[in-house]
Chains A and B, each alone.
Chain A
């Protein structure tokens, strides 16, 4: 599987999971899909076979509300059966809306309240530094999440302790729960803020897999600075009527036009070499 295929499958699962569950956050799931796909497919040293290896890389989804994207990636990478994705949000399911590690192989840490995961990731990166371990810790953070003061506590800390094995990726989709970030608590100049905090800052197109891969390669060359990859994304990416529309932070794709329209658009750009897992079901 290549990362484009994985990203498509994450989007496909995201639409299905929120459709079935009437779940929220499809906009964020679609915006983060490429970041998650590149990380799990090409960058992080993590697989169902090395979960207990202390030198495996760690991935923490700090913006836990996009949990469906992580569950989808893990299922596609063989951490658990993809059939289980349909239980997202359901009574008795292991797959809560916000990502949880309890009983779910491959989930490094449970999140949901914003501004936690990135700080825990810094702790894990500090551990690597203290013990001279080679692993990297990746934290996927939302731009809205950067309203949280704890993110900036962490930014100070990671710089002070030279956590070069910490790589924060901001899914910079420019929107948060109620409005655009710019109209809420403006983050700009966003890159400059991180630079001022002493970070190695990389600014990329968060939907361009080559740019993402190159950024991760560059991040790993950082000798004494933590890296933030500002991945410029579009909330709702891949489904035109969801893009840039705050409605899709919470709304789920309803039966009819919304669900069918989303699938139609996804199918138009389906990479070769994969099939739609839900069409397989029907056969």
Chain B
């Protein structure tokens, strides 16, 4: 057979591409559901771990169903709040399908960068109004309550993000969890370790209507309420953590005030929740 003819080459290419594309499309469609679940479960696990729940995940036989079960058990409400502290959406069932769970914190972070770059106050104002921040309300096994907030920022090489659990009083953290996409393993990558994240327990973040910055300091933290040890050899990642938390807490500030006032998870029944029912498309997003 003459394999050098033009027509043969063209037909060969078409057939090859068709076969390859079919195989790939089939496999991709077949595995899509599983991949999506993995991504969801990872997020659920981060949210739970920030409140020190789902500790047995390593020994769990079926990681996915264990995490999904724990999530459904303890995370009882998901809220979307704006930068004024108003609850835009609230959801108490099927939280993985809620608007709060589907918010991409990366996109919200992009909005925050636009806000910082905005030239005039009016533009800034309207951008700030567009911010949507997720809050997860967690009912602890011991009867306590946690408000889980998120944060996202730039590390040394790529993005870093966090979930932090705020105690019921709204002023102190009860825990935090960090993750990253491409920090140096063993240096900046250490932000995922328990050693680093456990330092955030009992840190004061909100006092007298003002956000208190959690300072990441080199060579031994002295103030147990406001300082944590930086990671050795990873100055930039450490300061990025500090910057990220402060930035997000400042947008959460009005909402934190609500928590302090004791109405964090109870938006005035009526307006907001109704709005959410009238506008089902918002949930579908």
B is a partner of A: no
